[in-house]
Amino acid sequence: VLFDRPATVAGHLLDGPARRAVARQGGDFFEAVPPGGDFYLLKHILHDWSDEDALRILGSVRRAAAAGARLLVVDAVLPGGGVPHPAVELDIVMLMAVEGRERTAAEFEGLLSRAGFRLHRILPTGALPSVIEAVAV
């Protein structure tokens, strides 16, 4: 299921095998997301939001996800400890632009835990974002 705001999802054109395999559904991830998925993907979503709003989004996903379902979060992970990293600049931009923020691994782990997920692993991609894998508990 490709889930996004109704106006956004209406503009997504699917072709090839995806046309038959992927359903499009509009909605509000603060309210509810489609239930029963094997995995959920939040790509460049959580960094747009404060911790409070990110927790609301994660809570919505957790209510939809059965225990054992996987959550993949694709976002930059700050190294912490004052280490220079391109995500530090992005953190400042996100704070100024949308009141969002980049987070450290420990901050992601805390948010995920509070929402009912267990951090499984963080996979660097060789680019700015990492893939954060969590499991619904």
Rounded distance between C-alpha atoms, residue 44 and residue 86, angstroms: 15
Helix (H) or strand (E) holding 10: helix 6-10
**Angle, CA 82 vertex, CA 104 and CA 122 arms, to 5°:** 25
Give the list of residues 6+ apart from residue 69 with CB closer than 8 angstroms, or none. 37, 38, 39, 40, 135, 136
Rounded distance between C-alpha atoms, residue 40 and residue 100, angstroms: 21
Report which DSSP code applies to 11. Answer: T
Is the Cα torsion angle 44, 46, 47, 49 positive or negative in sign?
Answer: positive
User: Of residues 12, 44, 47, 120, which has the active-site annotation?
Assistant: 47
Active site residue 47: yes
Residues with catalytic function: 47
